[in-house]
Amino acid sequence: GNSVTQMEGPVTLSEEAFLTINCTYTATGYPSLFWYVQYPGEGLQLLLKATKADDKGSNKGFEATYRKETTSFHLEKGSVQVSDSAVYFCALSDPHAGNQFYFGTGTSLTVIP
């Protein structure tokens, strides 16, 4: 079946620190992979995505590479800001399951000045 395993948090970093949030997946087919971000009291917003192996998604300084050999999609940012404080969800969509989405448990990030 399909599932997403995500690094547990919470994660607390100082401003300008390097961020990595690990994400691995299992899938029966060829899924698309996503990172969503949720700010307090809000819904989820797409941060970046990758639709096939070796694709790199990037946005707002965040990036993640679709690694089929390691079934991973780790999120990275070289220098975090206080405004990056949020909950980050790794997800996959399976075209063989009606494009249903499968989410990781979310990782809470707090960036302190």
| Binding positions for another protein, rule: CB under 8 A | 32, 34, 36, 41-46, 49, 51, 89, 93, 95, 98-101, 103-106, 108
**Distance from C-alpha of 39 to C-alpha of 79, rounded to nearest angstrom:** 19
- Smallest gap from Cβ 14 to another protein, in A, equals 23
- Smallest gap from Cβ 86 to another protein, in A, equals 13
State which residue, 18 or 30, has the beta carbon closest to another protein. 30
If DSSP states are collapsed to H, E and C, what string results for 50-113?
ECCCCCEEEECCEEEECECCCCECCEEECCCCHHHCEEEEEEEEEHHHCCEEEECCCEEEEEEC
State which residue, 104 or 109, has the beta carbon closest to another protein. 104
State which residue, 98 or 113, has the beta carbon closest to another protein. 98
